[in-house]
Structure 1
Amino acid sequence: MRLPQPRGPLSATLVETLRRSQDGVQPGPDDARTADVLHDHDLQLSLWMCYELHYRGFDDVDDTWEWSPDLISWRRRLEDRFLAGLRALAPTPAVAPEAVPDALADLVAADDGPSLAGYLQREATLEQFREFVALRSVYHLKEADPHSWAIPRLEGRAKAALVEIQADEYGGGRVERMHSELFRDVMRALDLDDTYGHYVDRAPAVTLAVTNTISLFGLNRNLTGALVGHLAAFEMTSSLPNRRYGNGLRRLGGDERATRFYDEHVEADAVHEQIAAHDLCGTYAKAHPDAAGDVLFGAAACLAVEAEFAGALLDRWGLGLSALHTSALERTA
């Protein structure tokens, strides 16, 4: 994977800097800002590039940039803006540690985000489903990896619970059952390029924000509570949408291999829901009472960002437009 096309002054300066050998050069200005950080293309792409250095990196970037003090400092300033935006979007009340599992269930029950899954099940065209899958590939081709940052930070029952969930995500050691590999089957069935990171240049800011939220929580140890809360919300809201995604793809002609990714999540995430809420988050909150609010914040942030993602796709499709991002060059062609 090579560096993506910039979308503004932040990402342009970052791309230019990362193409050099590391020599202590500051990445550049960070004063460009918008009120809505989730839809800020320049901010989200810049953060995604910074975070990707900790995953697989880029073919045209020196690997030593991963821990450049200048780059980490610059990233931190972007993260402060992103985190402030997430906290404003997903305010959460104080809660007693022992009440965390019930509070998570209440958050999920109160979630009234737009039903992207219902639209894909009943109304989406084949091209719209292809766009959905292409955009989701930004996360699903590294599914589980961001949440795995929490494993070395947990202990006891909470650690065992997370490992149990992640073992299923990674296919129990069988490559063909890894969820990221099952998603590749979906992409191939829809004639999409399943190369890691291929659709980043076509991903709107809010699509990048979905993955950036997990990376933000995962790469900052002080946000471990938010990371496990995010995973819990992700698992607790997964089974029904995935059933609808699978049925939608079958409606459009998808066979058993094409829909296996979604069918697998219907069963697995129904089990993961209880493990994540009680064994993982409940145990973690009791061991770290001061982080109980962080757990709920992570869950609320997950629901809020996913709702923004769903709304963005439905808005574009409702206008008869593609949900994929178009570059400035394409818009002026």
Structure 2
Amino acid sequence: MTTSVGEKSTQGRTQMRAVVAGAYGSPDVLHVDEVAKPVPDDDEVLVRVRAAVVGPPDSAAREGSPFPIRFFSGLRRPNGIPGDVFAGEIEAVGQDVVQFAPGDAVFGTTAPGSGAHAEYLCLPENGAVTIMPSNLTYDEAAAVCDGGLTAMAFVKDHAHVQAGDSVLINGASGSVGTAAVQLATEFGATVTGVCSTAKVEFVRSLGAETVIDYTRTDFTTTGATYDVIFDAVGKRSYPECKASLTTGGRYLTTVPSVGILLRMVWTRVVGDRRAIFAATGLSSKRTKRSHLVALRDLVERGQFRPVIDRTYSLDDIADAHRYVDVGHKTGSVVVTMD
């Protein structure tokens, strides 16, 4: 195994600091403890994590709700280190690794697995990891992964947004929403964002041509129609949005439910409008890696920017969860390991 010559003080360590939880529940179940530092297999890289993210999926995993989450995280209690989005540097590589070298600055995701809320993690060389944008900090790179990967999957792969489409994004100021506004604009769509009063000008600055303040106007009552309605926060159902879709329009949501799964099946065979949900974390490693590369290219060309609301230290992980649980963040909440 080849190891980095930098930061020699970390090389002999067999322990690392990581977030753990002994039960499902409120942010109070989270604490930082010393656990075994992972060792990469022959085809793996060891990443020294510099920044990670806390978002609604992390809150759901912490609570073990909805219940199907527990099939991944543990039926009775969490069985691993939380977090999936990360940015950091390669500290060591397995003997068969050829794509990365110690010292490489990388970003990516362990989804559908976890382990990013820790000082170190291992993942396969062919996993959802690649060289991060050269013009970003680790915090910013983690934020790009946060909403960017989900938004890219929905906007590009499932909504097939293209030039000339009219796209409405509900929850346009969140991590997924801010990314979706930028991506849909980049793809040539005319974008309408929906957010609260205080964030109207911010969403417009991301590229939205029209911004609707949901505290004053219900977009489903305006009579306007859209080729795509992307509910990035899971607040408006397909039945509520159906009349606001054009013929052949697509409704997408990030939040799973029995209702949306049934409507996905139904709208495939009946009617001229589609309801779509996708578990983006279950996308193939190759797909996620290609999205990371695309996001990196957009960032380096100045056509996509990360949005960070707040930054917390690893020791303040419970406070980060409390803030996310309020449900009004703008962009991403980043957790730093240093």
Q: What TM-score does the superposition give when structure 1 sets the normalisation length?
A: 0.25
Q: What TM-score does the superposition give when structure 2 sets the normalisation length?
A: 0.25
More helix, by proportion: 1
Pick 1 or 2: higher relative contact order, CA cutoff 8 A, min separation 6: 1
More strand, by proportion: 2
